[in-house]
Structures are given as structure tokens and as C-alpha cells.
Amino acid sequence: MLNNFNKPLKLRNFAGFYKKNKKEEISFMREKIVEKELYDYQERDLQKIFTYLNDAPDNFNLLYQLPTGGGKTVVFSEIVRRYIEQTNKKVVILTHRIELCKQTSKMLNGFGVRNKIINSKVKELPDQDEYQCFVAMVETLNNRLNDEKLEVDNVGLVIIDEAHYNSFTKLFKYFEDSFILGVTATPLSSNIKLPMKDNYKELIVGNSIPSLIEKGFLAKAETYSYDVGLTSLQVGINGDYTVKSSEDLYTNMSMQEKLVQAYEERCKGKKTLIFNNGINTSWYVYQTFKDAGYEVRHLDNTHSKKERKEILKWFKHKPHAILTSVSILTTGFDEPTVENIILNRATKSLTLYYQMIGRGSRKLPHKDIFNVIDLGNNAARFGMWDAPVDWQQIFKNPDYFLENITGDEEIEREFKYKMPEEVRELFKNSENIEFDIKKAYNEAVNNGQKSKAVLEESVNQHAQMCAENSEDVFDARILARELKDDIRDRVKRYSYCIINNTKNYRDWLFEDYNRKLRSKINDLFQE
């Protein structure tokens, strides 16, 4: 019964150590252990999990969902402590990255659980009786077990961190008689062909992001979406956009300019983390911000351990730092002082979407809100990060969810451009700045006019706006540059009307529009 398991452990400060052997001394007792209790929502989830541990068969597979920042490592560390205390069986914890192994081991030490990391240096386990728990990277443990070089006896519970990665399933055969607990923020498999419902029998859903925000455990996201044309992107065999097509789009000058513009509008002066799809893109971003005079660093998986440590230390202590990266910082990275997350990429991975934004959601006494700059139409594709999600539905029917994700072309059609307040202020003398391209097109067709009459009318309006807010033709032509996003939006909507939405044609229309706008401005000041 549930009451057989102890109440949350209140850890007391103590110091000391136990000897692993004569050469090594484990510092898990040497470290000061702070008092810690589970939050109410964590305790409730833990009790639900132990209901299955008590009542379900020993070889039951259970999945537990808790948002990034909800404290899943704390929850399963307490599970490990209570489980070992109650059953006297051993626990194996699996991760997909060595950094997560170290973080997990440190947390377990804090809960008084003796543990050992099985890394590339560990070939055998002659001392396994000295430990209650083992933390291992999935590939390392798989190789050792496959080569029959080591064996862990009396394993009653296997915990899988970041369980949405499919690589873990290869180890299930070695623990057929053990209870398997998968833990993830997003119960959607990284491989659409291998749904999680095939490997886990039940899902326990923890507190939602909106609930954790309301209770003060997570910061609230302010999301700003910028219209980006993604029709040039290609989808690879993994189901996500290819690095090559992403780099072609995000390294071009207009996208780099849009990125810097978004940063200066919403993020300037605050610690910023930028995610890209591809190392080359990240280097482009680094150079762009460096040339603009900003404090910026780049980090990817080719950096050495020493370099990574130095860069992250710099990022931690620089108040206005900008760090551009790829996906290396989506898991196992915790820097609560991040105030801006820039998604300088598009993704079709729901998990990646939540992981990236989650890097900014840590709460601090002076940090209740963080910014999300979306340059990949991701919010339109998946919904807002802090919107309610039916994880049970996604877990049970992943195909239905994936098939109903909004497509890029539909997103672009539905995106409504809104002139930023700072740009609108530049045109304060103009009463009307709106222009309904679709309505104007329908009227032109009904009146037997050529479709290009629509763009001519639009050009006239823009030219009038520039003239009304300038002292001379030179000021007006400079002011016209501020309309580039509005122009792109109008050109895009016109292309939908005439059913010619190719990138080359839209680019030509954009350049032609600007030529006609400059000419019309000249005409207005000559009249």
C-alpha cells in the first residue's frame, strides 16, 4: 500500500564520506546536502507512480510526463530513494548524454542515494554490491551488456530520462523482469514509426505548463512571431526540416537582418539564447551580431569539454550575453538567467519546440517573464508554448496529431502582418495604413481590370504615406525602407490571389514593387 512508503525525505546537513576503494573517496557524503522537500504537485505524481509500482506486474512499463522546469529529476530521485528503501532492489537510470548522467548522479547524491556512473571507462562492476543505483548512458550500457562484459544484479526498477528518444528501447530486452519508468516532457516519440504507446502501457500526466506558471514555478512566455516564408524548406527522412535547406534560408541577408531587427526590438540588453538548425547558420549568426557590435559567442558539439565550459561560464556571468547554438543546449543545460529565447529555425518536432523554449522558463525572484522570438512559424504550427495540451490524446493517437499539424503554406496564408508600434509612429500623419489585397483583387476582377492594378493601388497608398510623413523626397525614400515587411506581406497575399506563389516570382514582385514605390514618391514631390 502507499503508506508503506515514507513521506518525503527531509535531507539534513551533514559531512563525511565512504570509501569506494583505497584509491578513491566518494564525495557524495562530503558535499553538504540541503534540506529539500517535494512540492505538492510532485508528491501527488509520485504517489500515482507508486500506485503502479505496488499494484502493477514487476515488468510493467509506465510513462510519466512533466514539463521542462517541473523538476522531473527531483521526482525520480525521490522515487529511487523510497524504492530502494522499501524493496532493497537496485535501480538503473538511463540517459542519452554524459552531461545528464553527471547531473542525475549529483541529484541522487543529494537525496542520499549511493550511485555509480557507468561511463566509457567502466568495463566491469566488481564493486556493484557497494551501490544501490547505477546511472548510465544508453549506448555505453548497451555495448557493455551486448558484449557480456558486465551484469547488474537484482534490478527492480529502470528509469529512462528523456524517454521520447527511441534509442532506449534497445535495452528493454535486458530488463524484461524489471519495472520500467520512462520520464519525458513530451510523450511523443522522436521516430514517428515507433510510437511510445507501443513501449509503454500507461501515461501519467503531471502538472501542465499553465498550472506551473500560475503557481509560480515557471516564468511566463511572451511570444513574438515574425512572418517567415518556409516553402523553400525540405523535410528529411527524420521528419524534420533538413539542415541544408534551413541553412540556405536562414543564412541569407534578409533573414539575418530580420533576426537582428527582432533582437533589437524585443531582446536588446538582456541575456539571449539563439537556436539554429545547423552549425553554419549559427556561425553566420555569430558573425552578424559580432559585426553589429554585440557581445556574442557560438557553441556547438565540435567544441571540446574545456571550450564548452569556458563559453558557458562566460554566458552565465555576462548580463547582456548572446549565445548562438544548435541543439546541444536543448537538454542538460540550465541557466535560469536567460531572458530571451530566439527560435532562428523552424522545426516539425514538438519535443524540440518545447525543449528550446523551456531553456528560458526557469523562474527567478526578479524574473517572472521571458521573451520568445519565433522566426520559424513554430507557434503557429504547434500552438503557444504555455497553451493547454492533451498529452493523453497525443500519447494514444500520435498519428492523428502529426497528420493535423498545420502546414507551412497554410500558416503563411493565415499570418496577419501587424505594423510594429515604432514603425507606425513614423507614419503618424497617415490616418489609414491598412490595405486589403484580397478585397482589392476581387473588386478589380469584377470590374474587368488587370490584376496588377491591385499592386499599383497599393504602391500609391504607400507612396502617399511616405510623402505625408516626410519633409522632402530624400526623407520619403529613406522612410520607404521601413515598409519592407508590409510590402512583403502585400506581395505574398497578391501571389496567393493569382495562384503563383513561387519564391522567385515573389522576390521579383518585391523588387518591382520597390522600384515603382521610389518612382511614385519622386512623382509626388514633383507635382
C-alpha cell recorded at residue 60? 510493467
- Tens of pLDDT, residues 375-410: 999 999 999 999 999 999 999 999 888 888 888 888
Q: Which residues contact 39 (CB under 8 A, 6 or more apart)?
A: 71, 217
Asked if 392 contacts 203 with a C-beta cutoff of 8 angstroms, the reply is yes
Residue 205 burial (10 A CB sphere; 0-12, 13-18, 19+):
middle
Indicate the SS3 state at residue 521: helix
CA distance 136 to 97: 9
**What structural domains does the chain harbor?**
2-207 (3.40.50.300), 216-399 (3.40.50.300), 421-526 (no CATH)
First vs last Cα of the chain: how many Å apart? Answer: 90
Residue 38 has pLDDT above 80, yes or no: yes
Q: Check residues 12 and 274 and name the one with the higher pLDDT.
A: 274
- CA atoms of 525 and 527, how far apart (whole Å): 6
Q: Is residue 90's pLDDT more than 90?
A: yes
Closest Cα partner for 188 from 37, 32, 390, 5? 390
pLDDT at res. 31: 44
Which of these, 6, 24, 20, 212, lies nearest to 111 by C-alpha position?
Answer: 6
Q: Where are the beta strands (DSSP E) in 169-253?
A: 179-184, 202-205, 220-225
In three-state secondary structure terms, 229 is coil
Sign of the dihedral through C-alpha 452, 454, 457, 462: negative
Q: Any idea which of 27-36, 120-129, 219-228, 316-325 has the lowest mean pLDDT?
A: 27-36
The pLDDT tens digits for 454-464 are: 999 999 999 99
Percent of the chain with pLDDT over 70: 92
Single-letter code of the amino acid located at 348? K
Per-residue model confidence (pLDDT) at position 5: 38
| Beta bridge pairs of residue 184 | 65
Q: What's the pLDDT at 411?
A: 85
Half-sphere exposure (Cβ direction) of 165: Cα atoms closer than 13 Å: 15
Which residues pair with residue 241 across a beta bridge?
235
Question: Average pLDDT in the 117-122 region?
Answer: 84
**What is the average per-residue pLDDT within 175-187?**
93
- Quick count: other Cβ atoms within 10 Å of Cβ 306? 8
pLDDT of residue 414: 79
What digits encode the pLDDT tens for the residues 458-501? 999 999 999 999 999 999 999 999 999 899 999 989 998 998 77
Q: Report d(CA 101, CA 99) in Å as an integer.
A: 5
Which of 100-104, 353-357, 413-417 tops mean pLDDT?
A: 353-357
Q: What is the pLDDT confidence band of residue 3, given thresholds at 50, 70 and 90?
A: very low
**So what's the pLDDT on residue 420?**
85
**pLDDT at residue 33, rounded to an integer:** 45
To which residue does cell 551484469 refer?
151
C-beta separation of 228 from 254 below 8 A: no
- The answer to whether residues 357 and 372 touch, using CB atoms and an 8 Å cutoff, is yes
Three-class SS state of 65: strand
Question: In the structure, what pLDDT confidence band is assigned to residue 332 with cuts at 50, 70 and 90?
Answer: low
Instruction: Name residue 449's amino acid.
Output: Q
Whole-number average pLDDT of the chain: 88
For the ranges 27-36, 144-153, 186-195, 396-405, which has the lowest average pLDDT?
27-36
Q: Is the pLDDT of residue 316 over 80?
A: yes
Summarised one tens digit per residue, pLDDT across range 211-229 is 999 999 999 999 999 888 8
| CB-based contact 268:237 (threshold 8 Å) | no
